[in-house]
Structure formats: structure tokens, C-alpha cells
Amino acid sequence: MRVEKLLEKIAKCYVHKIIGLNPGYKNMDTYNWYSELIKPSWSPPSWLFGPVWMVLYILIAASFGTVFYKAFTGRLPWIKALPFALNLIFNFAFTPLQFGLRNNFLAAIDILLVLGTLIWAIVIIYPHICWVAYIQIPHLLWVLFATVLQLTITYLNR
């Protein structure tokens, strides 16, 4: 597969996620289920997650796309792109686990994997493409917050 086609497919995945074509989240039954969960007092309103992730996905698409492009063109070893690929897989798995299966425990495990692979990606890419590491800082801060939130919700609703 050509690099351009792969990048196009990755971009389409992000566009679908950004505009809400991700199955399992946008129906009223799922919204009611999530709104009835016990949440900590510091939990942000549900409407905030969409705009935050939209900005983050733009940063992710640019930075991860750069990593994958450099790996495909041989200018970066594939092992350096591995944590980025795993992060995408775990990131995209969260919504179906949390809202499709309605499984807080699996979502908690998944968000820990998102956090771990993101930290790994930042550490491994910094010596090669430092701007990609720096651009992950907002992503990292949000994922840290989301991890604490998910673990708290999982604990409160056990």
C-alpha cells in the first residue's frame, strides 16, 4: 500500500471519530446510561469531551501522520512508530468498550494502555522528531486527567 493511501485512511478514521461516526456513543440510551453513572464532583460536563478531543485529534493526526510517513519512507525505524500505532488502537477501542459494551473495567484498562503507549511514544520519538514529542503535551495532560477520571468512575460504580 502506498504511503499516501495509508495516510488518507488514517485521516478518514480521525474525521469519522471527530464528527461522531463512532458507533456506540451517540444514541440516547448510551447517553442515559453514562449520565446515570456515579461521577466525582470534579467531573467535567459531558459536552466538553467532544471539543477537547477534536483539537487533540488534529494534533494527533499531524504528529502521528509525520511519524508514520517517516517510518514508511525509511527515515525512521519502524520500532519507533510502534507505540504510536498501539496508541491509536487503544484510543479507538475506548469508545466501544466504554459506551458500546458499557464496561467501565475494560475501559479503565484501555485508558491505562492509552496512557502507557503515549508516554512510550513521547520518550521514544523525542531524540528523532522533538516537535512531535512537544505537541503531545496537551494530549498527555488530557489523557492523564481522563485516566484518573475513568479509574474514579470505575471505582465508584463497582
* 9 confidence band (pLDDT: 50, 70, 90): low
Grid coordinates representing 70 are: 517517516
Check pLDDT > 70 for residue 133.
yes
Tell me the average pLDDT across 45-54: 92
Backbone angles phi, psi at 103, to 5 degrees: -120, 100
**Contact 136/18 with Cβ under 8 angstroms?**
no
- In the chain, what percentage of residues exceed pLDDT 70? 82
DSSP string, the chain: --HHHHHHHHHHHHHHHHTT--TTSSSHHHHHHHHHS---TTPPPGGGHHHHHHHHHHHHHHHHHHHHHHHHTTSS-HHHHHHHHHHHHHHHHHHIIIIIS--HHHHHHHHHHHHHHHHHHHHHHTTT-HHHHHHTHHHHHHHHHHHHHHHHHHHHT-
Comparing 88 with 15, which gets the higher pLDDT? 88
Topology adopted by domain 3-156: Ferritin (1.20.1260)
pTM confidence score: 0.82
CA torsion, ordered 68, 69, 70, 73, to nearest 10 deg: 120
Domain ranges of the chain: 3-156
